Amino acid sequence: MNESTPTPEPHSGQGMDYSEIADVQDVHAAVQREKREPRVGREPLSIWLIAVYGLAVFFGGAYLGRYSGNFSGEALDPYGGEMPTMKKVTGPQGAQQAAELSPHDRGKKIFAANCQTCHQANGLGVAGQYPPLAGSEFTTGGSQRPAMIVMKGLQGPVTVKGQKFGAAVMQPWDKTLTDQKIADVLTYERSEWGNNASPVTAEQIAALRKELANHPNSFTEPDILAVPAEEDLPGGAPAGGAPPKPGEAAKPGEPPKPKG
Amino acid sequence: MNPAGIPLKEPSVSAAAGDTEQLERALIDASTRVPVLIFYTSAVAWLILGTLLAGFVSFKLHTPDLLSDISFLTWGRVRPAHMNVMVYGWASMAGMGTAIWLMARLCRTVLRYPLLLVAGAGFWNLGVFLGVGGILLGDSTGYQWLEFPSYAAIILFVAYALVASWAVLMFRFRRGEQIYISQWYLLGAFLWFPWLYAAGQLMLFVVPVQGVLQAAVGWWYANNLLFLWFGAIGLGTAYYMIPKVIGRPVYSYHLAAIGFWSYALFSSWTGMQRLVDGPFPAWMVTASIAATILTLIPVATVGLNHHMTMQGYFPLMRYSPTLRFTVFGAMSYTVFSLVGVVISLRSVAGYVNFTEASIAYSHLGLYAFFTMVIFGSMYYIVPRLIGREWRYGSLIKLHFWASAYGIGLMTLMLLAGGFLQGASMENPSLAFSESVESVLPYLRGRSLAGILLTVSHFIFAYHFGLMLFGLGRKSTVPTFLNPVEAEGAEAHI
Amino acid sequence: MKGLAPLFLGIFGTFAFSWVGLTVIPNWQIGHLNPQSDEDGTDIYPMPQSGMVQWGARVYAANGCIYCHSEQVRAEYAGADIDRKWGDRRSAPRDYIFERPVLLGKMRMGQDLANIGARAPAEQESPSPGGGGNPAGSPSGAAQSPSPSAAQPKAQGAQSPGATAAPQQQPAASPATSPAASPTSPASKPAPIARAGTGIASPSPGVAAAAAGAASPGAPPLAGPPWPEQTAGLPPMYSAAWHHVHLYSPRSINFDSNMPSYRFLYQARRISDVHSSDALRLTGSDAPPEGWEIIPTYDAKCLVAYMMALNQSHPLKEVKSAGSASAVSPAASPSAAPGGQPPPK
């Protein structure tokens, strides 16, 4: 009954129902003709196979040793090359950049880190919430007004370029930013996005800081408007437009205005 | 070649070894019928869906305007849907079905607590359904191989917990003191999968790791799934089917043991080689590449073991569907591993990284190896559950050749295309679109291979459906692929 | 094997070994990185994504962009990425510390996108004449048309080739707005590009520049870097407007492209009295019929915001920038890098 007949016949009749195994004799044919369950032999390992193992371990190990960059978390380079240090010099501008960044560029970084969230990278602010700086009469007029705003903040309704703002409050920055930084960011704002107003120096801000030392936080619009629009901070750089961008010659400026 | 002329090294090992043994096996088979058939039926349904999705994926890649305006059919969603249906729908469920039957047989005990398995299958299907639906509707998580949104992933985990607890219970109540090779692999698979899945979900979604480590965890998970879940089930199944069908013992216990432990040790360290040259510490990538080289050890071992077991019995592949599919799968395991080693070496990886070659690798593993082995096991197991034989030997043959040629063509197309794509990408004087142009004809070739595979799967599904509805052949003789000529043939399959 | 215990221990041990080795140890090494900042604390890189950019990352992940696009730049010795100008330097772990999910990608059927935001035109910095924040009070110069005007539909949308000869004085219509116009994306850049109208005898770039520049009232025309070469009818490469057109109809930009179109991210809307500044400028068979316009959905805007924010060009201390390789040639820079660099390959 375990012989296999040639060429299986096509299925025809119904035959037994194998869904019940009540009858021990009705074990179906597939199980009957099966061979016994698998078992394992005991042949010994071949020496050639051990040689293959040795080769694999050797190559794998050599690979691991050679290309692991000392297993350091910082070695992204498998050849374990020298860790490159950040170079300030890149290309022809190397000499320039090895020196200080210009106030404009420093101010740009400060702006990006502190002001951009509200006033946006393009200086246009957000309608109804944050006033624009591009083309704003507060930013581009005399330097006194914007410096006061940056130093002590601003709250309450204010109209800029014909639009009303007032929902948001601007924080004071005198405690967070140094004089140099405030000067740089003002310089940047006053020369970016088409603005073309005089730069601001750290000394001017220092003087202003002394002046405002006892002033409570936050100006309001009337406070700012009380200052003449074209009033510059005393002691500033010659008025004469935006500071030179890197590479350009400095423009000759006007003689300083008399202190008014 | 006349199988009657093949000498057996031992006395006849027909089932006349004992009526009680026959009865025991029959009872075991009967007890596994419902759960295993539920898993198999679900798996075949997902296979068909996954194959249709695969058609979309393949065709849309070179014909992008095909149905492109429908949001749930956009390529970027259909591709992960296809992958997840195949991985979690077809492969996992078919693998579990086979593993359940094997565990029952090898533990030599009737399947207990079938409700655990039935509930597990139900939840698993639900999870896959919700997950795939979620992906198509735009909830994909963005992690490869883990795209299921969390509402599906948790259901999958619950489903799996049910299946895993069943496996542990079966193991607890096993009879006989020896633990056969397949049981090592299967126990490993049943334990590794939940740990893997839990680790992946935890480290990516619950307590997410920072930055690029997410990609590292993701690919650690994916490769380990491929090897420790699918590979383990595949190898365990091959270790059962091959000696079982030909009636000879496995060649060497020592080889099997070395093979198992080296497999577990080394293949679990692979995965990072897919991130070669990425923003990672170099040692991680190199460790994985070294581990991939070291997986040549289990590959050589297992390959040798199977080969020596089959020595002299290769002609039986002409007749037995199970043997043919299983040996094809086992040989593909070797090919898959070799391809894996080659494309992970840094010098080669520079060319094939970011190309279609990695798709070829995945499909070699999941289809040429795992799926073919599972097909073989299904051809063996289903008659024992239903009590009928497969109806048409010709359909099985067609299935085999369509699958074999399909995956072979696909692998060739993608590897060749991938190399060309990489070579173009590495040449900065060529515009980037050149690299895409260079691979396009191969993608069309892959679509052709996909048609072959689609035909093959529909044939299989139809054939399986016939069996399910009790329309199989009623016979004492199995369905052979080719007519067996002589009487006295030892091809008791 | 006889015992269950050794088997179980071995199964557990091998798994634990790989888990610790490949996930836990790297987590110790690179799992808790902080952004890099200079001494002042002003130059922090990278910054966490927020708002529309973060949502855009989700849209990117959900629509499977990672299956064709990668977001990692390989080192010079490893690939041609830097030669292809896909980045100044290779990507490092620190670039991704704020990304969730991290979208490194594994395939390149499309370009690498790690620095796609950096490849946006430099004009992205200039003020946007259009968009939600449009100051209503801008005086109308002859050369500008920031507020929607009735003549705009002729400059965009429906193409009547016969209208090319029409004596349209207004130059570019307002550009498709990038998400920067929405207040919630501080990191994204505006897209102020004034575009030459399709089919219209295009105004010279100078006029276009004037239009953009004149939008901020009172400011003189911008004398910035030269405008990019524009193919007639297309927004400048990698600007937000370009991204929208590319998503809507990739093959209108690159005929060989294999990218599927993402029209479901856009809506067609009947033009009411004002032409939306968001509207895509489409040509040929992609263009909507007369009286309709295509506008991006919120998902599309977020996706483009995300892409405009993809920028790894900031130098990192731990990674050599490609630019510094050129400093090795002594003629270029007087101050050669100290400590020597590996010779460029």
Q: Mind giving me the DSSP string for C136-163? A: TT----TT---S--TTHHHHSSS--GGG
pLDDT at C184 over 80: no
Instruction: Say what the pLDDT of residue A199 is.
Output: 86
- Structure tokens of B277? 């040259």
Interface touch C108/B435, C-beta < 8 Å = yes
Predicted TM-score of the model (pTM): 0.72
Q: Phi and psi at residue A160, in whole multiples of 5°?
A: -125, 125
Q: Chain B closest CA to C100's CA: distance in Å?
A: 7
Q: Which residue has the tokens 């957000």?
A: A126
Instruction: Say what the pLDDT of residue C136 is.
Output: 30
Residues 6+ apart with CB under 8 A from C190: A120, A121, A122, A124, C124, C127, C128, C131, C177, C178, C180, C181, C240
User: What residues of chain B score a pLDDT lower than 50?
Assistant: 1-16, 487-493
Instruction: Say what the pLDDT of residue C217 is.
Output: 39
C-alpha radius of gyration, chain B, whole number: 22
Interface touch C68/B64, C-beta < 8 Å = no
Q: How many Å apart are CA C266 and CA B326, to the nearest integer?
A: 50
Task: Compare CB distances from A73 to C30, C219, C342 and report the shortest one's residue.
Answer: C30
User: What residues of chain A score a pLDDT lower than 50?
Assistant: 1-25, 82-99, 239-260
Interface touch B142/C61, C-beta < 8 Å = yes
Q: How many Å apart are CA B225 and CA C113, to the nearest integer?
A: 29
Taking contacts as CB-CB distances below 8 angstroms, the residues of chain A near B247 are 35-36
B301 near C53, Cβ under 8 Å? no
Strand ranges inside A107-205, DSSP E: 158-160, 163-165
Q: How many Å apart are CA B111 and CA C313, to the nearest integer?
A: 61
Residue of chain C whose alpha carbon sits nearest to that of B138: C62
Chain A contact present for B489, CB below 8 A? yes
Chain length of chain C: 345
61-100 in A: which are within 8 Å (CB) of B? 61, 63-64, 67-78, 80
Instruction: Say what the pLDDT of residue B13 is.
Output: 44
Q: Chain C closest CA to A20's CA: distance in Å?
A: 34
Task: Compare CB distances from B144 to C65, C106, C264 and report the shortest one's residue.
Answer: C106
Neighbours of B440 (CB within 10 A): 16
Taking contacts as CB-CB distances below 8 angstroms, the residues of chain C near B432 are 84, 111
- Closest by CA to B162, choosing from B199, B208, B126, is B126
State the pairing for strand pair C36-37/A163-165.
Answer: unpaired
What HEC string does B297-354 produce? HHHHHHHHHHHHHHCCCHHHHHCCHHHHHHHHHHHHHHHHHHHHHHHHCHHHHHHHCC
Interface touch B279/A76, C-beta < 8 Å = yes
Q: DSSP readout, B385-431?
A: HHS-B-S-HHHHHHHHHHHHHHHHHHHHHHHHHHHHHHHHHT-TTS-
Interface touch C186/A120, C-beta < 8 Å = yes
Query: What residue type is B32 in one-letter code?
Result: T
- Closest by CA to B310, choosing from B232, B237, B381, B239, is B239
Instruction: Say what the pLDDT of residue C176 is.
Output: 37
Kindly provide the ipTM of the predicted complex, given to two decimals.
0.87
Q: DSSP readout, B250-288?
A: BSBHHHHHHHHHHHHHHHTT-SGGGGTTSSS-HHHHHHH
Interface touch B180/A45, C-beta < 8 Å = no
Chain B contact present for C35, CB below 8 A? no
Instruction: Say what the pLDDT of residue A80 is.
Output: 63
388-427 in B: which are within 8 Å (CB) of C? 425-427
Chain length of chain B: 493
Instruction: Say what the pLDDT of residue C139 is.
Output: 32
Chain B contact present for C99, CB below 8 A? yes
Interface touch B289/A63, C-beta < 8 Å = yes
Among left, alpha and beta (phi > 0; psi -120 to 50; other), residue A166 is left
Identify which has the larger pLDDT, C217 or B491: B491
Instruction: Say what the pLDDT of residue B434 is.
Output: 85
Residue of chain B whose alpha carbon sits nearest to that of A23: B23
Instruction: Say what the pLDDT of residue B404 is.
Output: 96
Instruction: Say what the pLDDT of residue A236 is.
Output: 56
Instruction: Say what the pLDDT of residue C127 is.
Output: 26
Interface touch A122/C125, C-beta < 8 Å = yes
62-101 in B: which are within 8 Å (CB) of A? none
Q: Chain A closest CA to B9's CA: distance in Å?
A: 12
Chain B contact present for A54, CB below 8 A? no
Taking contacts as CB-CB distances below 8 angstroms, the residues of chain C near A92 are 332-333
Q: Phi and psi at residue C45, in whole multiples of 5°?
A: -140, 135
- Closest by CA to B58, choosing from B340, B443, B384, B410, is B443
C49 near C99, Cβ under 8 Å? yes
Q: How many Å apart are CA B141 and CA B306, to the nearest integer?
A: 41
